[in-house]
Amino acid sequence: MNLDYLTNLNESQEEAVLHLNGPLLIVAGAGSGKTRVLTARIAHIVKQHKAFPNQVLAVTFTNKAAKEMQLRVSKFLRKEATGLPWLGTFHSISAKILRKHAEAAGLKSNFSIIDQDDQVRLIKNICKSEDIDTKKISPKYILAVIDKWKNKGFYPEEVVLKRKDILEKSFLGIYKIYQQKLIDLNAADFSDLILHTVKIFEKHSDISKMYSKKFKYILVDEYQDTNFIQSEWLKYLAEHNQNICCVGDDDQSIYSWRGAEIKNFLQFENVYENTKIIRLEKNYRSTQNILNVASNIIENNQNRVGKKLFTDQEDGELVTLNCFRNVKDEATEIGSNIEDFKNKFSFNEVAILVRAIFQTREFEERFLKIGVPYRIIGGIKFYERAEVKDCVAYLKTVFQPQDDLAFERILNVPKRSIGDTTVKAINDFAKLNKFSLEIASKHLIEQNKIKPKTKLGLNSLLNLLAKWRNDLNKKMNHNKLLQTILDESGYSEMLKNKKDLENENRLENIKELLNAMKEFDNLESFLEHVALATSLDQDWQSEKVNLMTIHASKGLEFDVVFLPGWEEGLFPHQKSIEEKGESGLEEERRLAYVAITRAKKLAKISFSMNRFYQGDWIDSMASRFVDELPDEYIRKNNNFIDEKEEDFEFNQDIDFDSDTEIRSPGWIRYQKKLK
């Protein structure tokens, strides 16, 4: 019999493919070839006639991963591969089961699956009928809470509010109405697909037994990312044959904010008796020095199955640790490094991984200045982010009253009861009389052609614009001007009051914009800079450096990886530690592990001793993860060592340019440590 699927497998990989009896947990380290093992295992099951293809359940998290697995298996099975009907995502397989048993969930078999836009629209309608202000509480935020309950396996009547939370109590009321509406519409959302299926299994043992007998073998990819309801789903389906094989890496569990529960992975052998654990520790991606650094950091976590990565590749270069006086120095040095690499590495093979998206700004500014093309993976370029564009539009309107595009953008942001009909009327009047939109607005108010409520909002904006121009004429600092605009326009209040999943990022981006403005002498020069930055053609066909968050980098790999901003409070992120304590810290450490293991040849960690934050210079401290880096595999920079070592009283007004000889207390502490 042809066993070509076993060709070039290492010893552990082959063991994982051939072990077919009972529960199996494959602890697959980064770059250890887990996808190849999964596909070879499916091929082996079918080729050895252990099960027919339609008796094999293979579950992935994304359609892309499912298609890739289908393609790979096809190469081994050829004609037989067409008979793999149960290879797909949790949601697609659940939908398939639910279609056959829809009535048990109160639905008809032809139920529709609604997308997020439809969900938001439905929640908005419910909020309107319940007198809930969607300006303050985003429908997407409400949906996230409902989704959290569904991931925990709760129908509305099963939710128990642990604390007297008025907000959650109101959300529960919305959840009840929302779920009934879905039933009335003969519809299900994505989370329902799994929840309904589990509830059917729970209430109808005959149905669950039928499927658990049907699937002789179950294979699950990225098991560390499963949530509670997905793990329950798997328990029901594996109940009869117990031949469940889960593949993943507990050290790469970084999605708890999406509902993933690492305990599913850690407690696998407690849930499934007689579990066999096989570790895939041979890495085919990174040099040994990179693996040693990653392993050393992650070993500080207590809650893990444990493994030690190794490679047959050369040791490679030491991982570098660079300390910089400020963020600008950090971006300048990294930019220079990338330019130096351009004859050795493709830009496409270079990545900068940040903990928070606002960190990209400094690098974008530098790359635009030196002409290095770049792309933002999984995000939007800094000056193209909606909240940044809103702020810039306000400043443009104040500085240049003729800028109709800017005026129209801010007209109803925040909400001022200025609807599309009014905007059209202003535009038509302006066009007819060759006025700017602002002048046209004034004339329409004077002529009483604006409804009273709308007139109130429009008049308020016009008065504020006049006041801000007066502030500017009186030489108000442009940075202070934007803060004033944000406060007096209600924009700050809108962001602070709005419960929204993305709100924290928006606030951070605005803070970073204020930081950026500090670098310019006046408003005119700043606006000119923004115009040039946004007009530069960055859609070149050439290669580009990759900028992204660490979360967005999972599953990717690059020759060279830069890891800036390893500072306490930023990485590990203070919010994560405050909200989740030790478990939050361990997840942040897993993020560090993921970040380092994206690198194939070079990994460069850095931190800044001074960060400009919310209008002030702050004395940053190196991340605790820096202390966990093993000295024997690290090369530290020794730049800027100052002979004067005494501490000084920190002055936040000091301009930390690249030539200053003044050092912050944090900088001095680090230099003493080096010596």
Query: Among 161, 235, 222, 194, which Cα is nearest to 90's?
Result: 194
Query: To the nearest 10°, the Cα dihedral for 320, 324, 328, 330?
Result: 0
SS (H, E, C) 323-387: EECCHHHHHHHHHHHHHHHCCCCCHHHEEEEECCHHHHHHHHHHHHHHCCCEEECCCCCHHHCHH
Distance of alpha carbon 93 from alpha carbon 665, whole angstroms: 57
Across the strands, what pairs with 374? Answer: 545
Q: 558: which DSSP letter?
A: E
CA atoms within 13 A on the CB side of 239: 16
The per-residue pLDDT for range 634-658, each reduced to its tens digit, is 999 765 344 333 333 333 333 434 4
Which amino acid, 663? Answer: R
Burial of 222-240, coded b for 16+ CB within 10 Å and e otherwise, reads bbbbbbbbbbbbbbbbbbb
The per-residue pLDDT for range 395-428, each reduced to its tens digit, is 999 999 999 999 999 999 998 989 889 999 999 9
Q: List active site positions.
A: 34-35, 221-222, 252, 598
What local confidence, expressed as pLDDT, does residue 663 receive? 47
Residues of the chain with pLDDT under 50: 540, 640-667, 669-670, 675
H/E stretch holding 530 reads: helix 523-535
Instruction: Look at the chain and count its residues.
Output: 675
Query: To the nearest 10°, the Cα dihedral for 129, 130, 132, 135?
Result: -10
Distance of alpha carbon 26 from alpha carbon 374, whole angstroms: 37
What local confidence, expressed as pLDDT, does residue 157 receive? 95
- Taking each helix axis as running N to C, give the angle between helix 452-473 and helix 478-489, from 0 to 180 degrees, rounded to the nearest 10: 160
What local confidence, expressed as pLDDT, does residue 641 receive? 43
pTM for this prediction: 0.83
Site of tokens 């700050």: 492
